[in-house]
Amino acid sequence: MSQVYEKVALIGLGLIASSMFWASRRAGLAGEVRGFARSDETRAIAREIGLCDVVCDTAAEAVQDADLVVLCVPVGAMEAVAREIGPHLKPGATVSDVGSVKKAVVSAVGPHLPNGIDFVPAHPLAGTEHSGPRSGFAELFENRFTILVPEDSARAEATARLRRYWEGMGALVEEMDAEHHDLVLAVTSHAPHLIAYTMVGVADDLRRVTDSEVIKYSAAGFRDFTRIAASDPTMWRDVFLNNKEATLEILGRFTEELFALQRAIRTGDGEQLFDYFTRTRAIRRGIIEAGQDTDAPDFGRVKK
Amino acid sequence: MSQVYEKVALIGLGLIASSMFWASRRAGLAGEVRGFARSDETRAIAREIGLCDVVCDTAAEAVQDADLVVLCVPVGAMEAVAREIGPHLKPGATVSDVGSVKKAVVSAVGPHLPNGIDFVPAHPLAGTEHSGPRSGFAELFENRFTILVPEDSARAEATARLRRYWEGMGALVEEMDAEHHDLVLAVTSHAPHLIAYTMVGVADDLRRVTDSEVIKYSAAGFRDFTRIAASDPTMWRDVFLNNKEATLEILGRFTEELFALQRAIRTGDGEQLFDYFTRTRAIRRGIIEAGQDTDAPDFGRVKK
């Protein structure tokens, strides 16, 4: 793989940025990667583990001369960062991000970028339940989608270059507009996360079943909810506050359907339940065929 | 491991029964295992793959002389099977089952068992998204809990023997009463399954996002729901119809909490969201510490 950018700046050094650094270095995609994180502790860890070629003490210093600047901070922090770096960007540079919502990021960041900057927001659909500078690894994006949401004003060549960068890190790249992105993610990610958080909260609250029972018997289904309900609280707070409309729309639909199934349980309508459960099985097959999961029977089994 | 029962009968030959046969054979826990399944096709497959030492054409024949009879049929079919085998049970035999609900099984099966039979209902908390006689494997129960719900009339030695049988198959064994079992499972399994089914149904229904988009971008969280929403429709219909009260209670609590979080999103109450998401993270840590899941960062990643 050959170099795609001479100089890259990563603002924010958590799971995604650290994985980008290792993936990009493995493939030789960038000449130099500079990193910045707001907290002294994160910068100290980054220096200790060799995360980024240079760790800078200010965002302004990190973005100077960079051909690509990627904002890897929580969605709620994007605007302040954009305001800070705007005046220091190199003319002709590309600015991108890795936020889980796109309409809100476009509104927050766009106005602070000077003319002549190509703004190509992006969202890698990859993550683990861990966060922080030590949590990254080069394989995070392999066989996972990254969605590019190029602004109308961005040059096609800037988008194509960013695509090569993500493909070099192992990602499958797609493009769509910000509004559609936010709806697709509300269905596939934001609503499921809120539902999982809720179910875990209910289990934790229930007096008649102890937490230790919930934990012991979690393999019966509950466990799959806790995995996604363990994600970074700051990130998820910002996702919900910044993709309100689409998330609330999907949750509204969800509640409607849930009530219909509850009613079928209450009235003993076995046929409705059976038909519903048969239909949902087909979607699962599609996911396995698309290579986005495995149906190995010992999936998730703890090695003894 | 030494033999625990001389003769065992498995009624119903799906995922659980077939896994029991392979696990029991591996450890030498039974002298002879007889199997029965209602469908001709299942019996033919069982004979083809050597599932059970003898495959019988009637349930009555299978249970004759058996020291342990395990009902491995859907909960809705338990009563008919119990009525059929009742007169053919060997005096002093133990009858058990593997149903996911226990109060309903006790009511359905108990009245058909003659005096002198030890009735020790059981529930192995293990499964995969596959079903049928070919889906079993000897390791299914390893490091997973099996809950015994002995009836008051069962002799302590019968319960202890069944415990040894399950431990021999690799399970961790616990005992509790039927009512508590059904509530614990409503929280850790039944409500999560219904919620997962609902979320997958909503995604499938949504016109503005295509099924192929849902499938492509499922790794962002949705995927974890589809895994449990792919389980056997007949089994799950019967679970919900037979654990109505506890499931509806938990779903009621769930809806209440979900509404509170939706309201926090609508009103922009970031603090409430953040606090909630922080609390749920702790439960996840408990599950990993208890060895019921792994937090390996590449968990679930598809091998290329």
* A299 pLDDT tier (thresholds 50, 70, 90): very low
Q: Which of A76-85, A279-288, B224-233 has maximum average pLDDT?
A: A76-85
Alpha-carbon distance values, A120 to A17, A82, B2 (Å) = 17, 14, 66
* A281 pLDDT tier (thresholds 50, 70, 90): confident
B153 pLDDT higher than 60: yes
Residue matched to tokens 């494997």: B137
Nearest-CA distance B151 → chain A (Å) = 21
Nearest-CA distance A11 → chain B (Å) = 23
B140 or A206, higher pLDDT: B140
User: Tell me, what's the pLDDT at A302?
Assistant: 35
Nearest-CA distance A172 → chain B (Å) = 10
What type of residue sits at position A84?
E
The residue of chain B with its CA nearest to that of A250 is B202
Domain ranges within chain A, ordered by starting residue? 5-176, 180-289
State whether A222 and B196 contact (CB < 8 Å). no
Q: Which residues of B touch A284 (CB under 8 A)?
A: 129, 200, 226-227, 229-230
State whether B211 and A286 contact (CB < 8 Å). yes
State whether B253 and A205 contact (CB < 8 Å). yes
User: Tell me, what's the pLDDT at A294?
Assistant: 65
The residue of chain B with its CA nearest to that of A299 is B300
Nearest-CA distance A149 → chain B (Å) = 15
State whether A225 and B227 contact (CB < 8 Å). no
* B213 pLDDT tier (thresholds 50, 70, 90): confident
State whether B287 and A203 contact (CB < 8 Å). no
Q: Closest to A211 (Cβ–Cβ): which among B278, B283, B301? A: B283
From the candidates B214, B247, B256, B262, which should be mutated to test the interface with A, based on the most A CB atoms within 10 A? B262
φ/ψ region of B229 (left if φ > 0, alpha if ψ in -120 to 50, else beta) reads alpha
Mean pLDDT over each residue of chain B, to the nearest integer: 91
* B298 pLDDT tier (thresholds 50, 70, 90): very low
Nearest-CA distance A210 → chain B (Å) = 9
Which H or E run includes A228?
helix A222-228
The CATH label, of 3.40.50.720, 3.40.50.970, 3.40.50.2300, 3.20.20.70, for the domain at B5-176 is: 3.40.50.720
B126 or A14, higher pLDDT: A14
Alpha-carbon distance values, A250 to A145, A169, A193, B228 (Å) = 22, 32, 12, 20
* Tens of pLDDT, residues B19-67: 999 999 999 999 999 999 999 999 999 999 999 999 999 999 999 999 9
Q: Average pLDDT in the B95-122 region?
A: 97
Q: Closest to A266 (Cβ–Cβ): which among B189, B248, B294? A: B248
| Percent of chain A scoring above 90 in pLDDT | 75
User: Tell me, what's the pLDDT at B50?
Assistant: 98
Q: Average pLDDT in the A19-41 region?
A: 98
At residue A110's C-alpha, the angle toward residues A108 and A116, to 5°, is 160
| Percent of chain B scoring above 90 in pLDDT | 75
State whether A221 and B193 contact (CB < 8 Å). yes
Structure tokens at B74: 């859907």
Residues B64, A47: Cα–Cα separation, whole Å: 73
* A244 pLDDT tier (thresholds 50, 70, 90): very high
From the candidates A216, A234, A238, A288, which should be mutated to test the interface with B, based on the most B CB atoms within 10 A? A216
Q: Average pLDDT in the A218-238 region?
A: 83
Phi, psi of A58 (to 5 degrees): -135, 155
* Tens of pLDDT, residues B218-272: 877 888 888 778 788 898 999 999 999 999 999 999 999 999 999 999 999 999 9
Give the list of residues 6+ apart from residue B37 with CB closer than 8 angstroms, or none.
B12, B13, B43, B46, B55, B133
- DSSP tally for chain A: helices H, then strands E: 13, 9
B6 pLDDT higher than 70: yes
Asked whether the beta carbons of B93 and B84 are under 8 A apart, the reply is no
Residue matched to tokens 């974890």: B224
Mean pLDDT over each residue of chain A, to the nearest integer: 91
Residues B207, B202: Cα–Cα separation, whole Å: 10
A118 pLDDT higher than 90: yes
State whether B217 and A189 contact (CB < 8 Å). yes
Asked whether the beta carbons of B9 and B94 are under 8 A apart, the reply is no
State whether A188 and B214 contact (CB < 8 Å). yes
Q: Which residues of A touch B184 (CB under 8 A)?
A: 209, 213-214, 217
Alpha-carbon distance values, B99 to B16, B20, B73, B106, B123 (Å) = 10, 14, 8, 10, 6
Residues A132, A48: Cα–Cα separation, whole Å: 14
Q: Closest to B200 (Cβ–Cβ): which among A206, A208, A283? A: A283
How many beta-carbon pairs below 8 A join chains A and B?
365
Predicted ipTM > 0.85: no
B295 pLDDT higher than 70: no
CA B229 and chain centroid, separation: 14
Q: Which residues of A touch B218 (CB under 8 A)?
A: 188, 287, 290, 292-293
Per-residue DSSP letter, B73: S
Q: Which of A8-22, B48-62, B279-293 has the lowest mean pLDDT?
A: B279-293
Overall fold of domain A180-289 = 6-phosphogluconate dehydrogenase C-terminal fold (1.10.3660)
Residues A176, A82: Cα–Cα separation, whole Å: 23
The residue of chain B with its CA nearest to that of A234 is B274
Q: Average pLDDT in the A7-23 region?
A: 98
State whether B229 and A265 contact (CB < 8 Å). no
Nearest-CA distance A82 → chain B (Å) = 22
Q: Which residues of B touch A263 (CB under 8 A)?
A: none
State whether B240 and A265 contact (CB < 8 Å). yes
Longest pairwise C-alpha distance within chain B: 67
Give the list of residues 6+ apart from residue A180 with CB closer than 8 angstroms, or none.
none
A177 pLDDT higher than 80: yes
B288 pLDDT higher than 80: no
Residues B99, B94: Cα–Cα separation, whole Å: 16
